[in-house]
A and B are shown apart, each in its own frame.
Chain A
């Protein structure tokens, strides 16, 4: 059984017969097999599954950090499976925001500069970038710590800075890999509220987690098992 849903006109991401395999000394290992997946532009999809089931590989393909071994990936109805690296970089830079379990902030820079780093490879004026970064920080409730170095922030604040960085450019899709994995329950709740707020603002969210308590925040649940995606219940 494969996961699917949503109407074609609202689709942001679609995978058709996608397989991702890796060469090993003992032959190829198929991490994802014949995956079918469609994500609405305003969807909030939560992907769960046991370790080694292929969740991160699926997320890498969805965020165009990786390309499939077979099958097709469509982003905004455009087949991106065979695009050159530069074109994938261009899509990532303009349309995809990413949030990671380990935040990946630049510790010496302020929260504001970390968010403005979203524009590092975009042709945006410095002042404009800082203005948009401040708006994003305000949206996640961190305007007051904007000028503090990232290294002095709490884990929850760091993750919210990372979310602000991901959405400062107003992406078409926000991809999050275990965003609450390093946070306590209270901080996780605040972070998830941010995702809900962004989704309500029209940004599609694709979130991978081990924590089934987060399912309540999503509009759709997909289970990754043995390299295949299965529609799950909320």
Chain B
């Protein structure tokens, strides 16, 4: 078996050596196709993971109210949160305000989320160590701070540490897991998605570093409402929407985000990417495949005498066919491997700057590789079959 494999590889190497130009052309054509396919698989995987993460982060029975434009005269505020909390008996309501704040003594900035003690009940993120903000923190404006897992790891902020946001010292009281971690969390909606590199401080903190809040000191980016009984979800949503249209509570530019809407957004994006990148990938691969096929046809034509010799030495038709099949599969496999590895390297370098989330792993490495080898087998089947059908006497008369 080992002897046979070595002999086959040597045959393939001989075939490659006598026609480097043709093989190089096939290699490039398949490599380009595999690059496009790898990007597609990585992006679709990333979006899939992103949708799961968003749902996890968002919460299955949670809906959000966000105000896209914060310069509206009537801003979403704690006033609305209190009204909804008082009227929605079957739900828990929390509000968030997010802004970027520089940390003391460094050039780093951090996303600070000001919220209340209800937040953790609504979002139900796991508290990994310490505790989340409580009622006392909020009522007495304690300088307590809860850090996300990603930031805790990145900056080594742990419960008990004293850290500084701009000029203000805070005590880290806990670490929470927003559910992401693997992704560069760029928010499809910056208000509904808080990201995974965040810290929480009690709402109502002195806001002298809150530059964007111009009209209302207790303005919010978003309200999150968790419905206690999943069966009441639609009813609570409708009631909340009605309540927000009452006189004195009307706010312009509100958007209601539910898990369904989030999923639809992601799926629309997935579909668009699948169609565009997928078309490019399929086109490249078919182009590469047909190039390979034409090259294999020429390859067979040029090696008819060699086919005759092999048949004279006892090769069966299958031996001859497998020679060309193996050659094509090894070339496309190598092209696929090179394309996949190169693309992974480039994507890893660009990961932070890539406009959509990416998932790089075994699937994005091996799926394109399998596709490449399959392409080699499919597109070389006809030439290989033709080679196998050449009668040995005819092959030896070729010269």
Judge whether A121 and B393 touch: CB under 8 Å: no
Residue of B whose beta carbon sits closest to that of A92 = B314
Which secondary structure characterizes the binding site on chain B? Answer: helix
Give CA–CA (A125, B1) in the complex, Å: 11
Judge whether B306 and A65 touch: CB under 8 Å: no
**A89's contact among B306, B314, B396, B397, by CB below 8 Å, is which?**
B314
Judge whether A85 and B317 touch: CB under 8 Å: yes
Additional A-B contacts beyond A57-B393, A65-B392, A65-B393 (4; CB < 8 A): A93-B313, A102-B305, A106-B306, A121-B315
Q: Which of A66-83 contact B (CB under 8 A)?
A: 66
Asked, given contacts A104-B306, A108-B14, A126-B6, whether A98 binds B312 with beta carbons under 8 Å apart, the answer is yes
Give CA–CA (A45, B371) in the complex, Å: 55
Q: Which of B364-399 contact A (CB under 8 A)?
A: 391-393, 396-397, 399
**Chain A positions near chain B (C-beta within 8 angstroms):** 56-57, 60, 63, 65-66, 85-86, 89-90, 92-94, 98, 100, 102, 104, 106, 108-109, 117-118, 120-122, 125-126, 177
**A85's contact among B6, B7, B316, by CB below 8 Å, is which?**
B316
**A125's contact among B3, B311, B319, B393, by CB below 8 Å, is which?**
B3
Judge whether B399 and A60 touch: CB under 8 Å: no
* Interface status of B22 (Cβ within 8 A of chain A): no
Question: Which has the most chain A C-beta neighbours within 10 Å: B17, B316, B317, B319?
Answer: B316
Judge whether A121 and B319 touch: CB under 8 Å: yes
**How many residues of chain B are within 8 Å of chain A by beta carbon?**
26
Give CA–CA (A66, B335) in the complex, Å: 40
* Interface status of B101 (Cβ within 8 A of chain A): no
Asked, given contacts A109-B14, A126-B6, whether A63 binds B397 with beta carbons under 8 Å apart, the answer is no
What are 30 A-to-B residue pairs whose CB atoms are below 8 Å? Answer: A56-B393, A56-B397, A57-B393, A63-B312, A65-B312, A65-B391, A65-B393, A66-B391, A86-B316, A92-B311, A92-B313, A92-B314, A93-B314, A94-B314, A98-B312, A100-B396, A102-B305, A102-B399, A104-B396, A108-B14, A108-B17, A117-B313, A120-B7, A120-B310, A120-B313, A121-B315, A122-B314, A126-B3, A126-B6, A177-B396
* Interface status of B308 (Cβ within 8 A of chain A): yes
Judge whether A106 and B14 touch: CB under 8 Å: yes
Closest 9 CB pairs of A and B: A93-B314, A60-B393, A104-B309, A65-B392, A121-B314, A65-B393, A66-B393, A98-B312, A92-B314
A166 to chain B, nearest CB (A): 9
> Which residues of chain A are near B305, meaning CB under 8 Å?
102, 104
B311 to chain A, nearest CB (A): 7
Asked, given contacts A89-B316, A126-B3, whether A65 binds B14 with beta carbons under 8 Å apart, the answer is no
> Which residues of chain A are near B154, meaning CB under 8 Å?
none
Residue of A whose beta carbon sits closest to that of B316 = A89
Give CA–CA (A85, B7) in the complex, Å: 23
Residue of B whose beta carbon sits closest to that of A63 = B312
**A104's contact among B14, B308, B316, by CB below 8 Å, is which?**
B308
> Which residues of chain A are near B316, meaning CB under 8 Å?
85-86, 89, 121
> Which residues of chain B are near A121, meaning CB under 8 Å?
310, 313-316, 319
* Interface status of B346 (Cβ within 8 A of chain A): no
